[in-house]
Homo-oligomer: A and B are copies of this chain.
Amino acid sequence: MNIGEVAKRSGLPAKTIRYYEDIGFVTPARGDNGYRSFGEKDLHKLAFLGRARGLGFSIEDCRTLLALYEDQGRASADVKRVAQKNLNEIDRKIADLQAMRGTLSHLVATCAGDGRPDCPILEDLGRR
């Protein structure tokens, strides 16, 4: 399989796949023309990575998860710990954004948004 097809089937851009090779996630064989030649296993790995990234796991966490995925003797506790950590991180980010949202939506709601210069948004940002 050439990179284009893998890209289509995995949903990842070809650029990203090359990058994932760079950082050691996959190691496709090479044809005589120098083209990468991916197998089904590579495709499966890349799809795995795409989903893990889609759930917000960092590249390093993906590395760990991939290793656990391929380790038949893993303990699910190890997987769960990584996932729980990511979940906590996501919760923290949501909380941060909710806090911003709270302040900002209030400010936006109280700004007239007309041609006059008076603006509660700037007043808030510029408060002493």
Which residues in B have their C-beta under 8 angstroms from that of A128? 44
Is the Cβ of B80 less than 8 Å from the Cβ of A113? yes
Give the contacting residue for A115; candidates B56, B77, B119; CB below 8 A: B77
Which residues in B have their C-beta under 8 angstroms from that of A93? 93, 97
Q: Please name 29 pairs of A and B residues whose Cβ atoms are closer than 8 Å in the assembled complex, sorted by A.
A: A44-B126, A44-B128, A51-B124, A51-B125, A55-B100, A55-B104, A55-B125, A56-B97, A56-B100, A71-B117, A75-B114, A75-B116, A76-B111, A76-B113, A77-B112, A77-B114, A79-B111, A79-B121, A79-B122, A80-B108, A83-B104, A83-B107, A83-B108, A84-B108, A87-B101, A87-B108, A90-B97, A91-B101, A93-B97
